Structure 1
Amino acid sequence: MSEESKQPQEAASQPSAPPPQAAPAQAPSEEEAITPEQAKEFFLSVLDYGQEEADAKAGILEELMDLILPEASAIARPIRAPSPEDAKAVEKLEKQFGVAVREQAAAWLNEPAIRLAGASRMLEPRTGGATESGGVLRRELFMLGDGRLVTVETVNTWFMEGEKRVSGDTLVGAREVSAAEVLRLFDFVAVLKALLETLFDGASALKNRNEQALAIVERSGRFFTIIAQVAVGMKENADRLRRAGDTPA
């Protein structure tokens, strides 16, 4: 066998050289490490998503309200009629509780509306003991027949006249609000539940009258789709927050 034919065989019989090993990862140098200022800026930018979430929720409220206007109109009732007693009680309320009285004569108070949410807080009298008089400030959210959102504030007061308890209800504020304001003043989930109930109650009222609103199938289908997506998204977000809270320090 020639020397030339031996060389390839000899080379094939030799073990192959091991592949080159990857260089171990190097820890970032002090120059490459993130600074406290960079960390702060990063987390602030992430938390800004909270505003995007609020904007998305406001848009959801507006679309859902638009979808159920026919059903809402079927069961809407006037909010309340302004009373001469309201004007008489204003000065007394300001002195007794320090309540600032705003608009009392909004034109839409007599228009049909649907109540969507409410909140209240106790008022401490400036004079007299808590057992002699008291009050509650109530703020309620309504949707008018044309889709506008409004808030109405009333003060329910009581005082003892001998052994008799005398109570009254005074309108102290009425104004239009945006969907974004609603999110700051009321619970988002509570408003969604009220809209859902309005859809069912309104549809039932129309059925009892042998009436049916236009495109009820399409509108209700879109409504339920949005509600389902919101519910799933809120559950996933709650799960993520729960896991974050359970993470060991």
Structure 2
Amino acid sequence: MDKAFTSVAEVVADIPDGASMAVGGFGMCGVPSVLIAALLEQGARELETISNNLGVDGFGLGTLLAAGRIRRTIGSYIGNNKEFARQYLAGELEVELTPQGTLAERLRAGGVGIPAFYTPAGVGTLVAEGGLPWRYAADGSVALSSPAREVREFDGTRYLLERALRPDYALVHAWKADRHGNLVYRHAARNFNPDCAAAARITIAEVEHLVEPGDLDPDSIHTPGIHVQRLVHVPGAEKPIEFRTTREES
């Protein structure tokens, strides 16, 4: 029942080339940066990531991206990562853009055993009709496009079918955990972490505070330990600020 490892390298050691991975975080908040750094050191390649975004240049998943370790990603935001945009437009990276709420629901559905669901998000757009460029060729032409989705009408409203996500691994960041793998997230760092943790076949958590079984209030637990296979204590994990806004002292 004790799922705590003493080494960060040990918890990611068996992640193979080509693995699919759900990674928690939103921008720089709640990102499992220590696990990502260990995976970068471990050397796995041709990874498929599922995350809201691919970090930023030089932090989080942005480090794996810059090293050429990610083959494909499913996400909802390219945003501030210049290398992400460059690789996508150059045909080096396959990108499945997904509405943010749909992404969360695809992960949640995978975690509760629902294979697919209908949603109104994306109806009447290329998300439903197909044709979104998933991968470009080196000459700038579209090498691979998204397929059309099944659309049905319920009570006068059209919905499209989305498949659940069930990745091989999840990397998540939690504020506190006990040795049985019960996780508590702090404030906005909760974001995609619970959905990622539940969806994966093997979930690996980095935690800021590790306590003994029985020390957590059951009502405060966000991810039950049944969803977590491995965890590692990472006190003092880096928490950079994405946008620093200041004003002159009055």
- TM-score normalised over the length of structure 1: 0.21
Higher relative contact order structure (alpha carbons within 8 Å, sequence separation ≥ 6): 2
Higher helix share: 1
Q: Which is greater in Rg?
A: 1
* TM-score, L = length of structure 2: 0.21
